[in-house]
Amino acid sequence: MATILTKPPTTKLLTATDLLRLAGEGVRGELIRGVLHETMIMGQRHGKIVMKLGFLLNSFIIPRKLGTLTGADAGVWLERDPDTVRGPDIAYFSAATMPPAAIPDGYAEVVPDLVVEVVSPNDTRREVAAKARMWLRYDVRLVWVVLPQTRSVDVYRPGHAVETLTDQDTLDGLDVLPGFTCPVSAVFDM
């Protein structure tokens, strides 16, 4: 029997504009080098943690007019041709990074100062660690990976070892959000 070699099917790479159009059609996902990676709804605990931490951060950011906080659906445009658009669970853009008058209708074209990723029930710690390192490669200054199963937060910073904070520790905004602190337990207490 002969093997017939065929050319692999050509996949049309999508653009950030295509992703915005698809979002309007109800398709939810990220674009990685032009390829759509659909995302799922992650459940109540995941959503509650995102909202709780977003509330804690915004309660600090808004009165001080420090910048903008966005959620996963806002998107960050990281690469062009082929396009990469990722959506962290929470992103903080300082006013210096993205002045309030410069907030786009589409995806942010600058990287956030702080990214928060909440581990979903179907994520592995290794996958989320890889995503945190990806954010650092794009010059994000601080990444918090929230681990609901262990009630802990892994803190990633350029040039530093990963630090794991537990329920008894305090989350700190360091030089990205100077003065922001909250008990790690506050992120998880429902």
pLDDT level of residue 7 (50, 70, 90 thresholds): very low
> For position 121, which CATH number holds?
3.90.1570.10
Is residue 142 in some structural domain? Answer: yes
- The CA-CA-CA angle for residues 160, 186, 66, to 5°, reads 65
Q: What are phi and psi of 127, to 5 degrees?
A: -60, -45
Could you tell me the residue range of the domain that residue 71 belongs to?
42-188
Separation between Cα atoms, residue 58 and residue 117, nearest integer Å: 16
H/E segment holding residue 134: helix 125-137
Contact between 118 and 46 under an 8 Å Cβ cutoff? The reply is yes
What pLDDT does residue 5 have? 40
How many distinct structural domains can be found in the chain?
A: 1
Is residue 147 in some structural domain? Answer: yes
Is residue 169 in some structural domain? Answer: yes
Is residue 94 in some structural domain? Answer: yes
Is residue 35 in some structural domain? Answer: no
Cis peptide before 82 (omega within 30 of 0): yes
pLDDT digits (tens, 9 = 90+) for 21-62: 888 888 888 888 989 888 877 788 888 999 999 999 999 999
| Selection from 64, 66, 87, 68 nearest residue 16 by Cα | 87
What are the CB-based long-range contacts (under 8 Å, 24+) for 121-126?
121/42, 121/43, 121/46, 122/40
Is residue 9 in some structural domain? Answer: no
The whole-model pTM stands at: 0.88
Contact between 117 and 144 under an 8 Å Cβ cutoff? The reply is yes
Separation between Cα atoms, residue 86 and residue 62, nearest integer Å: 24
pLDDT level of residue 4 (50, 70, 90 thresholds): very low
